[in-house]
């Protein structure tokens, strides 16, 4: 990380070209998911040909509990999921979801945390794919040869609950919260027992990163959005420490992805607000 790299994203047109290229086609993962849960039925109804479905709730998260609603999965469990999808250590992987990119960003982050480097997100997800006239398939996942990937955790930075508290309280640090503004302000809370946010955190709703078509905004616009929220690109030693949080560590990954596109390094707080309030930590409301 630490450099401008729009190559973390892939357009529907580019993916079509790669699927018909003479070189090895990428492993394609469908990780459609909403706050209501994973969407295997959506995959069965229509998906990108050759895509493997990965269940975010069962395979890309551990059991909910004191670590939050979507804690990081056990590395060995994650390795089983990646191998079942046909991923090897040298695989090129493209991930997509229904469109907003929240679940796809989580898969992108976990693949990179696992040690893979050739991982990209289909910009705009399945909605962009169908809008571009991309072919679709239906039915259950096809039987595929298992991969041989070995998960080597630690490829992406994380912070725990105490370090998140320190970042939020430190004038030179930034803890972003990717949830929608009404949830951040504590006006509504559909999932966690206490409404509000981590004191000192700054709200940057993930939706602010996207344009009207659900695609990531151009790098210059993304840089302006982060700049409006106390984060600017430049030498790492001049930027201070920063991390992304959300409700349970899913949506925050989209902030990490957008930061990577413009060369801004963000750690992830996997437990996020669900761990914070479950631990009885103090909660703030309002802007």
Closest CA to 254 of 85, 13, 68, 9: 9
Label the pairing between strands 33-34 and 37-38.
antiparallel
Helices 219-227 + 252-261 axis angle, to 10:
120
CA 60 vs. chain centroid, Å, equals 11
What are the tokens at 143? 């039987």
Cα–Cα distance measured from residue 169 to residue 243, given in angstroms and rounded to the nearest whole number: 13
Closest CA to 92 of 68, 79, 81, 108: 108
Q: How many C-beta atoms surround the C-beta of residue 40 within 10 A?
A: 17
Considering the candidates 87, 149, 246, 250, report the single residue annotated as catalytic: 246
Q: Is 33 helix (H, G, I), strand (E, B) or coil?
A: strand
Cα–Cα distance measured from residue 161 to residue 167, given in angstroms and rounded to the nearest whole number: 10
Q: String of b and e for 129-147 (b: at least 16 CB within 10 Å)?
A: bbeeebeeeeeebeeeeeb
Closest CA to 264 of 236, 224, 230, 225: 236
Examine the residue annotation and report whether 253 is marked as an active-site residue of this protein. Answer: no
Q: How many C-beta atoms surround the C-beta of residue 103 within 10 A?
A: 29
Instruction: Provide the annotated active-site residues.
Output: 246
């Amino acid at each position: 990380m630490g450099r401008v790299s729009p190559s973390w994203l892939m357009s529907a047109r580019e993916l079509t070209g790669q699927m018909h290229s003479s070189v090895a086609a990428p492993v394609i993962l469908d990780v459609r998911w909403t706050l209501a849960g994973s969407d295997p039925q959506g995959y069965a109804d229509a998906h990108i040909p050759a895509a493997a479905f990965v269940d975010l709730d069962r395979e890309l998260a551990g059991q909910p509990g004191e670590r939050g609603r979507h804690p990081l999965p056990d590395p060995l469990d994650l390795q089983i999921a990646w191998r079942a999808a046909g991923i090897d250590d040298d695989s090129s992987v493209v991930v997509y979801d229904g469109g907003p990119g929240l679940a796809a960003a989580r898969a992108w982050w976990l693949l990179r945390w696992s040690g893979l480097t050739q991982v990209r997100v289909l910009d705009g997800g399945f909605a962009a794919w169908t809008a571009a006239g991309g072919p679709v398939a239906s039915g259950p996942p096809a039987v595929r040869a298992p991969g041989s990937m070995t998960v080597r955790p630690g490829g992406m930075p994380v912070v725990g609950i105490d370090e998140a508290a320190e970042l939020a309280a430190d004038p030179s640090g930034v803890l972003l919260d990717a949830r929608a503004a009404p949830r951040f302000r504590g006006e509504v809370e559909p999932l966690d027992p206490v409404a509000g946010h981590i004191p000192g955190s700054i709200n940057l709703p993930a939706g602010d990163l996207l344009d009207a078509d659900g695609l990531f905004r151009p790098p210059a616009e993304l840089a302006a959005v982060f700049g409006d929220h106390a984060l600017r690109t430049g030498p790492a030693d001049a930027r201070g420490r920063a991390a992304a949080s959300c409700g349970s560590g899913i949506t925050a990954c989209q902030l990490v992805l957008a930061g990577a596109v413009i060369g801004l390094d963000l750690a992830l707080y996997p437990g996020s607000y669900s761990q914070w309030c479950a631990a009885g930590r103090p909660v703030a409301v309002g802007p």
